[in-house]
Amino acid sequence: MTDSVNDKIHDDLISHDIALRRVIGSEQKRVERRLDELGSDLKALAARIDPFSASRADEQERRLARLEKESTELINDAYKEISKLQRSELEQVAAIESEATIEAVRKALP
């Protein structure tokens, strides 16, 4: 029994969707790993500052508070930058997907 045109299109699009989901999952894991590394690096940097040491404790406390604020801003900026890049990439993927759909229909037609 031969597959119908709809079955062929469906199968082709499902295969394409699975491949796309793998790419997306891999990209998300890569971004999350990088952000986790950034967070760990910033925490390690902050941990090296001892706000309770005997000399100039008030100044060190202010530096630690400023470091925490700047670190949070840095991480937030990184998330915003990554979101912009992902949006751009997703727009490109959308264009590719529309062409893939058209190609699936062309291949399925007799």
pLDDT at residue 57, rounded to an integer: 67
pLDDT at residue 1, rounded to an integer: 54
Give yes or no for a contact between 99 and 3, defined as CB atoms under 8 angstroms apart.
Answer: no
Give this prediction's pTM. 0.53
pLDDT at residue 97, rounded to an integer: 81
pLDDT at residue 31, rounded to an integer: 83
Reading the block at residue 3, the tokens are 């597959």
Q: pLDDT per position in the chain (110 positions), as tens?
A: 568 888 888 888 888 888 888 888 888 887 888 788 788 877 777 777 665 665 666 777 777 788 888 888 878 887 887 888 778 777 888 888 888 888 888 888 87
Reading the block at residue 8, the tokens are 């062929």
